[in-house]
Structure 1
C-alpha cells in the first residue's frame, strides 16, 4: 500500500497508484511540444529509471494509466491524446471509434479496425478482447481496476474464464464487433474502455501468473527480457502498424527500464546530464533536495518539467465522529485551515495551486467556484464565529497521518489553533494507517490528510470513490465517511447521463452540493516535477493526467 498522502486512484479499487514503475502523480504546465515535429526522431534506446523492483505487463492486474508503461505493449479499445495546453481527448485505439451507446447508455458497441495483429502475427479479434477482459475477473489475478466489474451485467458473480465459463454481457458478435451490456446506463464507458483490462489477450497465452512478464504484445513494443530487481528490455514489435495507432509514435527502437533505482542518485545524474543519463528520464518525482538543485542550475533548463495543477490534496473530516457531525463545525474548519502554510510545508508554489473545488483541473464538468472565501490563509475569526453559533468550545481533534507527513500536519495544526481548535497529530506506519483509516470503522480518527488522482478524466472517477456511501470502509477511499442519500442519488444520475453537456452540468452541481456539506477541505491541486536527459524529446505532461506521456517520447 502506498502512502495515503500519495495520489490514490480507482473506483471501488482497494489498491494503490501503480504505473508499473513506481512513478506517482503529476500534471503539467510545461514541457516539450506534444508532437514529433519538436525534433524527435525514430531510433535509439530510451532508458526509464524506476524505483520499483519489478513490473507487471498483465492488463488484468494493472492499474497503469493509458499513457504509461503498459500502454507501450498493450493497446486497448480506446486511448488518450494528451497535450500540454488542451484537455485530454478520448480517441480510438483498437476500435474505429470511441464507442456507440444505445438503450439509453446500457449497451455500448465497438468495432475493431481491420488487420490488427499481435506480435506473433495472429489476429487481434473481438474474441481476444473479450477473453482479456474476462481474465480480469479471475480470482487468480488480483490488483486491477474494477470500473467494468461493477458495470457489466453479471460481473458481480463472474469468476473468470479459466474454468471454461464466459461472461455473456461481453458479446463478441463477429471477428470485429464487441457489444457490452451494462447493468445500468453509464455515460463515460468510452473512458472505461481505455483502462488496462480492455487490452486483447490470446486465449492460448499460457499460465495466468506468467503473463505479467511474458505478455503477447499488441502495442509498438514487446518484452524482450525481464530480470526482476534489475532491468526490463522492450524491443520493437515489428507487427505493430503505426498507421492504425493514433496514440503512440513508437519512437525509440528499444526501451530499457532500469529497476530498483535510488531516485536521488538518478536525479543527480540527470541534473549533470551524464552520458548514461542523456537518453533517459526518471519515472518518479524529483526528490525535494534535487528539485531545489535543479531549479537553481541553469544547465538543467527545460529538462526539469513541472506539472500544472493535478491531484487533489485534501483534509478529510470524519463526518461520523461525534465532534464533527455538525456541518457548522466542519464549515468552521473550512475557514480555519491555512492553505498557505500547508503549501509552504509542501515546498511552496511549485508544489501546487490552491484548491477550492472537488473535481480537479483538466476534467470535463469542472466549474471554478469558491464557497469559503478566497484567502488562502483562511479566516480564523469567521471560524470562531461559526463555532460559537454551534455552541462548541474547547474542540479537540485527532489528525492521523503517516510518518513522513509531519510538516504538512503541523501546518494544519497551526491553522486550526488560531480558531481555538486543538489538534493532536498521530503518526502511524503504513499497516496501522490502513487498518485504522480506509479499512477501519472510523472510530479512531477525526481528521486525515489524503490525495486523489482519478484513473480516467471523468468526474465520476473524481467524486464517486471519495463521497459515495458505498465507498466507506472496506479499504475504500471515502475517508470522510460521508453518507448522504441525496448525493448518492445525484452521483448515480450524473454517471448515468449519456449526453456530455448534460452530464457536465450535473457533475458541476453535485461537486458544489457535496462541498456545501463540508466533508473535506480542498487544500491544493498538487504539481509534480520530472527530470529528463538532453537526448529526450517530446516529453509532455498534459492537462490530465499528471504524468508524462510515455507513448510519445522520442530521442534526438
Structure 2
C-alpha cells in the first residue's frame, strides 16, 4: 500500500482502562439480548454514528486512496466494480457495481470493456453515463486533485504524460481527454492499457472510476458537495471532513445495487477523535453512541483485556483480518546484510512469540513466515524457509554467523519509528533486539521521529541496513503485494522506493509479467503464492506478524459484516433498528 494503512492500533491510556473497567462492572444498558446487539433482523430507519480517529479529508473521488470503494466513501461513490459485501474470505471477491460484470478483457488483457447497468441516476435525477466515468477518471490526473491511487496513471496508454482536463494541451486548449479511454455510447467504456493487466477488475473498484458529470465539476470545491451515485448523499461537510452528514439519496435504487443495504436513514460521520475517547464511548454505549461504530480504531491490549472480562462488551467486538504484513527489511547494499548467511541467521534468530507479545498479544497479531498474508485470495502458500521454534533458533543462527565469518557474533543497527503504533514501535524493536542477542547478534536501536523514519526508509540513498517495515494491499491479491516490493523495474533511485531489498531478478520480473496476463484470478493467485515462496528463499525480509483488528461497536448495531478485503466493519451493511 503506497499510503499508510489507516487501521491504527489504539494504545490504552491509564484513564481509559479505568473508564472501561467501570463500564465492564456496570455493563451496557440491558437490551434484552444477552448475546449481542448484532443479533436480530435488521430493519430500515434510524441514525448511524461513525466515530473515527483518522480525518475524512479530501472527500472527492479523485483524491481518495481507497480499496474496494472505501467504507464511508462507498456510501456516496459507486464505482465500476466493488468488493463483495460478505464476511471473511467471501468478502475478498470483486463483483460488479455500476457495470454489468467485472469487465471483458481482450485476449492479451490490454483492453478492458465495461457496460453500465440501466437505470443509474445521480442524486439530482440525471442519468449516469460512461462519459461521466471517463471524465471522473481524467480529472483524477489533475495536480490540484492529487492523492488517489497511481495505477491508472501507470497502466493507461498516455497516462504518464496526461495532466488532466484543467491543464491546456499542446494546442493551448483545456478540457482535453485521455484517448486511451473510449466511450462509444452512453453505456459503454473501453480502457486501453500499455501492458497486460489481468487484475484490472480490482483496479476498477478504486474511487477514481466514480462518475463525475463535467457540468457539475467544481474542481477543488467538489468535495464540499459531490454528486452522489450511491445510496447516500452529502448534506453537510464541515471543516474538511471533520463532520460529514449523510442522508438517503432517493434516486438510488437497490435494483441496480445488490451490495449496499442502506438501512439507516441518516449517517453522522465524526472524524479526528481521540482513539481512547472513541473506545470509551462505544463501551459505554450511551444515547446516540448505542448506534455507533468505528472503522479505524482498534482496541489496544489493555483495553481488550478489560473488554473481554465483560460478557456483554466482549460480544460487541468485531474481529477483522486485512492483507497486511509486518516484517524486518534488509538492505543488501549495506554490510553485513550483503551476506545471505547473515540475513538467514537473523531469520532463524527472531523470536516471533516475543514480537507478537510486543504487538499486543496473540489476539491482535498472528505469526508470519510468508510474505504474502495468510488468505486464499492472495495465493497464500505456506512455507518456512528458516524454520525455528516459536521462540527462534539461536543455535542455527550462530552456526550461520560462523559460516559468514562472524564466529564471535556481530553488532548491527535496527532502525524503527518512535511513533506509538504496533507496527514499527520501540516495543517491537526491543523484542527483536532481545531475541537476536541470544544468537550473538548485538542490536543497537535507532529510533526516529515518524516522518524522518518514513523519509529515510523509503529513499534508496538513505535506506538503513535493517529496519522495521510493513505493507498492506490495495486489493486482496498478490499483485499489489509482491510487485512494488520485488519487481526490479520498480526500484526508484530518486523518490519513494518500496523495493527495499533492491531485488532485480530477471526470472522474478518475467514471472510477474506472466501472472499479470492472467484474467483467471484464481489461477493468478496460485502463481503469486509460488512466486512468494521463491522470493522468500532469498531472505530479503523476515516476516514477523499479520495484524488482527478488534473493534467495538454500539449495542444497538445489527448486521455486522467484516470482510477480508478491508478487515473492518462494513457500514454499508449496518442497521441500527
For the criterion TM > 0.5, the same-fold answer is: yes
Which stretch of structure 1 is more off in the superposition, 39-48 or 545-554?
545-554
Q: Is 1:110 paired with 2:114?
A: yes
Assess if the C-alpha contact under 8 Å between 1:73 and 1:218 holds in 2: yes
Assess if the C-alpha contact under 8 Å between 1:80 and 1:89 holds in 2: yes
Counterpart CA distance in 1 for 2:523 and 2:284 is: 51
Assess if the C-alpha contact under 8 Å between 1:170 and 1:178 holds in 2: yes
Assess if the C-alpha contact under 8 Å between 1:77 and 1:95 holds in 2: yes
Where does residue 401 of structure 1 map in the other structure?
Answer: 416
Counterpart CA distance in 2 for 1:486 and 1:472 is: 20
Q: Is 1:456 paired with 2:468?
A: no
Assess if the C-alpha contact under 8 Å between 2:85 and 2:573 holds in 1: no
- Cα deviation, 1:466-492, whole Å, max 9, x if unaligned, reads 222314462233333433333222222
Q: 1:472-511 counterparts in 2 under 5 A? A: 472=492, 474-511=495-532
Which stretch of structure 1 is more off in the superposition, 138-147 or 45-54?
45-54
- Cα deviation, 1:415-444, whole Å, max 9, x if unaligned, reads 11111111111111122112211135145x
**Compared with structure 1, are the counterparts of its residues 38 and 367 closer, same or farther at alpha carbon in structure 2 (3 Å cutoff)?**
farther
**Compared with structure 1, are the counterparts of its residues 447 and 82 closer, same or farther at alpha carbon in structure 2 (3 Å cutoff)?**
farther
Where does residue 255 of structure 1 map in the other structure?
Answer: 267
Where does residue 26 of structure 2 map in the other structure?
Answer: none
Assess if the C-alpha contact under 8 Å between 1:46 and 1:255 holds in 2: yes
Counterpart CA distance in 1 for 2:87 and 2:55 is: 30
SS class of match (2:214) = coil
Where does residue 29 of structure 1 map in the other structure?
Answer: none
Q: 1:66-215 counterparts in 2 under 5 A? A: 66=68, 67-87=70-90, 88-162=92-166, 163-215=174-226
Assess if the C-alpha contact under 8 Å between 1:42 and 1:253 holds in 2: yes
Assess if the C-alpha contact under 8 Å between 2:300 and 2:360 holds in 1: no
2:558 corresponds, among 537, 549, 552, to 537
Q: CA deviation at 1:395?
A: 2.1
Where does residue 389 of structure 2 map in the other structure?
Answer: 375
Assess if the C-alpha contact under 8 Å between 1:353 and 1:525 holds in 2: yes
Q: 1:362-441 counterparts in 2 under 5 A? A: 362=375, 363-373=377-387, 375-393=389-407, 394-403=409-418, 404=420, 405-441=425-461
Q: Is 1:286 paired with 2:307?
A: no
**Compared with structure 1, are the counterparts of its residues 142 and 509 closer, same or farther at alpha carbon in structure 2 (3 Å cutoff)?**
same
SS class of match (2:134) = helix
**Compared with structure 1, are the counterparts of its residues 504 and 86 closer, same or farther at alpha carbon in structure 2 (3 Å cutoff)?**
closer
- Cα deviation, 1:266-322, whole Å, max 9, x if unaligned, reads 211211222231000123212443222212222303211122474211111112212
Which stretch of structure 1 is more off in the superposition, 283-292 or 185-194?
283-292
Q: CA deviation at 1:57?
A: 2.1
**Compared with structure 1, are the counterparts of its residues 117 and 39 closer, same or farther at alpha carbon in structure 2 (3 Å cutoff)?**
same
Counterpart CA distance in 2 for 1:155 and 1:491 is: 21
Counterpart CA distance in 2 for 1:69 and 1:482 is: 37
Q: CA deviation at 1:547?
A: 1.8
2:538 corresponds, among 499, 509, 517, to 517
Where does residue 347 of structure 1 map in the other structure?
Answer: 360
Counterpart CA distance in 2 for 1:201 and 1:352 is: 40
Assess if the C-alpha contact under 8 Å between 2:83 and 2:95 holds in 1: yes
TM-score normalized by the length of structure 1: 0.91
Counterpart CA distance in 2 for 1:370 and 1:38 is: 44
**Compared with structure 1, are the counterparts of its residues 47 and 471 closer, same or farther at alpha carbon in structure 2 (3 Å cutoff)?**
farther
Bigger CA radius of gyration: 2
Where does residue 59 of structure 2 map in the other structure?
Answer: 57
Where does residue 169 of structure 2 map in the other structure?
Answer: none
- Cα deviation, 1:334-364, whole Å, max 9, x if unaligned, reads 1011111100111111112111112213324
Q: CA deviation at 1:367?
A: 1.6
Q: CA deviation at 1:545?
A: 2.5
Q: Is 1:313 paired with 2:316?
A: no
Q: Is 1:16 paired with 2:4?
A: yes
- Cα deviation, 1:92-141, whole Å, max 9, x if unaligned, reads 00000000111311111100001101111111100000000111111111
Which stretch of structure 1 is more off in the superposition, 325-334 or 464-473?
464-473
- Cα deviation, 1:136-172, whole Å, max 9, x if unaligned, reads 1111111110112111111111111122111111111
Assess if the C-alpha contact under 8 Å between 1:270 and 1:278 holds in 2: yes
Task: Give unmatched runs, 5+ long, in structure 1.
Answer: 1-8, 27-32
SS class of match (1:521) = strand
Q: CA deviation at 1:213?
A: 2.2
SS class of match (1:554) = coil
Task: Give unmatched runs, 5+ long, in structure 2.
Answer: 11-34, 167-173
| RMSD of aligned Cα (Å) | 2.0
TM-score normalized by the length of structure 2: 0.88
- Cα deviation, 1:232-277, whole Å, max 9, x if unaligned, reads 1001101101111022011111100122312212211211222231
Say how many residue pairs are matched: 531
Counterpart CA distance in 2 for 1:59 and 1:24 is: 23
Where does residue 326 of structure 1 map in the other structure?
Answer: 339
Counterpart CA distance in 2 for 1:238 and 1:49 is: 25
**Compared with structure 1, are the counterparts of its residues 271 and 399 closer, same or farther at alpha carbon in structure 2 (3 Å cutoff)?**
same
SS class of match (1:552) = coil
